Amino acid sequence: MTTTGPGAPETKARLPALDALRGIVVVLMALDHCRDYFSAYPYPPTDLDQASVALFLTRWITHFCAPVFVLLAGTSAWLHAANGGLDRRALQRFLVSRGLWIVFLELTWNSVMWRFDLHGIQLQVLWALGMSMLFLALLLWLPRAAIIAIGAAIVIGHHGLDGLHASDFGAEDSPAALGYSLLHEFHFIRSANGFEFGIIYPLLPWIGVMALGYGLGPVFAQPAAVRDRRLLQLGLAALLLFALLRLANGYGDPQHWAVNARGAVFTALGWLNASKYPPSLIYLTMTLGPALLLLSRLDHWRGRLATIVTTFGRVPMFFYLLHVPLIHLGSLAARYILFGPAAFSGERPDDLPASYEPSLLPVYGAWFIVLVLLYPLCRWFGDYKRRHRDQTWLSYL
């Protein structure tokens, strides 16, 4: 069985469906980051008063990435212990070491690669993964049923905190305000000297998702037919909850849907326009439900495309660490080719000339090029890991 999500280890046997699902989400993740770097729209891609259907869906489809990563990281922890015969203490040591390593990568490599400078830190998906592993290590003192109950309570109940804001706890840089934001609120600070600190992924709901992922682990120890049936049932239950919550249009997301003056299509898209920072209950049911349904069928996926996608899914951390600097460098090169030195004359590094026209065409072109460039590297590294299973350091990538 595989136990890799960013930061999880390689084990003796693999479940192709898990690798395939991870491959799908890392490929979608690259699309999202190409959109970030290759097409700067003057409004958010989820602003249904301005965004096109294509722009909205280009952003929306990538919402699946973070929830799947975190859920499967929890599942991976259970599988790692089951496959390796680890007791609770050994699994806790594993989670702590991997969690601290992933947080270190977020604070160092990832923060620098996003910006190519040392003037900011953004706590994003690696932060959420690593810290959730540390919290899962603490939860392992409890029975598995209690871990599932806590995970469900967090995922379902954290919406109740939406009425509280960091500003209720004092100044934006006060310990109390920052502490609350680390748990439950998107927070961004720019100091007088230009240093930027962003809490992009508040932790509380991601801890709940990882706990549920751990609880899901035993499903993958069951015969394939039983496993697929359970995954199908869970996926349908999540989607049913999503539909009921959206119909009620109250609890589950601070962003309610409404009839859109642009027509029925944009009203329908409003159903999908759920809050990610932090991930709402509606956001999580909307993404994890289809992911579980897909997971119940991926064992039967064959062909060249399946092989390519699965190759990416076997080395998700390796892919993650390489794709951001590659996309960033590519965007800088494209800007220089198109606009010359004028592309870098703004007050901020991401300022673009007035002649720039946003378009999705360069986004999808860059996405294709990035995948083509990364595929042979990921295939090589995946083969290297399989040939050198005895080298512990490889499990950190």
5 is a domain residue: no
Let me know: does 150 contact 214? Beta carbons within 8 Å.
no
Q: What is the pLDDT of residue 23?
A: 97
Per-residue pLDDT band for 352 (boundaries 50, 70, 90) equals low
Q: Is the pLDDT of residue 97 over 70?
A: yes
The proportion of the chain whose per-residue pLDDT surpasses 70, expressed as a percent, equals 93
Provide mean pLDDT across the span 210-223.
96
361 is a domain residue: yes
- The enclosing H or E element of 197 equals strand 196-199
Q: Is the pLDDT of residue 355 over 80?
A: no
210 is a domain residue: yes
Let me know: does 100 contact 130? Beta carbons within 8 Å.
yes
Per-residue pLDDT band for 7 (boundaries 50, 70, 90) equals very low
28 is a domain residue: yes
Q: Is the pLDDT of residue 69 over 70?
A: yes
Q: What is the per-residue burial (b if ≥16 Cβ within 10 Å, else e) of 91-105?
A: bbebbbebbebbbeb
Q: Both ends of the chain: CA-CA distance in Å? A: 17
4 is a domain residue: no
Q: Is the pLDDT of residue 2 over 70?
A: no
Closest CA to 277 of 154, 123, 397: 123
Q: What is the pLDDT of residue 189?
A: 85
Provide mean pLDDT across the span 346-356.
62
Provide mean pLDDT across the span 203-212.
98
Domain total of the chain: 1
Closest CA to 134 of 86, 105, 96: 96
Per-residue pLDDT band for 32 (boundaries 50, 70, 90) equals very high
Provide mean pLDDT across the span 210-233.
96
33 is a domain residue: yes
Pseudo-torsion of CA 57, 67, 104, 137, nearest 10°?
180
* pLDDT tens, position by position, 269-285: 999 999 999 999 999 99
7 is a domain residue: no
Let me know: does 367 contact 34? Beta carbons within 8 Å.
yes
d(CA 168, CA 42): 30
Closest CA to 197 of 173, 164, 174: 173
48 is a domain residue: yes
Closest CA to 17 of 316, 230, 301, 312: 301
Q: What is the pLDDT of residue 348?
A: 54
Q: What is the DSSP string of 236-298?
A: HHHHHHHHHHHHHTBTB-SS-----TT-HHHHHHHHH---TTTTPHHHHHHHHHHHHHHHTTG
Q: Is the pLDDT of residue 343 over 80?
A: no
- Vertex 356: Cα angle to 351 and 357 (nearest 5): 130
* pLDDT tens, position by position, 163-184: 888 888 888 888 898 999 999 9
Provide mean pLDDT across the span 144-156.
97
Closest CA to 251 of 144, 114, 365, 158: 158
Q: Tell me the CA distances in angstroms from 73 to 7, 70, 109, 125, 257, one per residue in order.
A: 8, 5, 21, 12, 31
Q: Average the pLDDT over each of 244-248, 361-365, 390-394 and give the range with the smallest value.
A: 390-394
What range defines the domain where residue 83 resides? 16-396
Per-residue pLDDT band for 195 (boundaries 50, 70, 90) equals confident
Let me know: does 50 contact 43? Beta carbons within 8 Å.
yes
Q: Is 110 helix (H, G, I), strand (E, B) or coil?
A: helix
* pLDDT tens, position by position, 102-134: 999 999 999 999 988 878 899 999 999 999 999
Query: And the tokens for 186?
Result: 């998107």
Beta bridge partners of 79: none
Provide mean pLDDT across the span 79-101.
94
Provide mean pLDDT across the span 215-228.
95
CA 94 to chain centre: 21
Q: What is the pLDDT of residue 351?
A: 63
Q: What is the pLDDT of residue 358?
A: 83
Q: Average the pLDDT over each of 152-156, 158-162, 315-319 and give the range with the smallest value.
A: 158-162
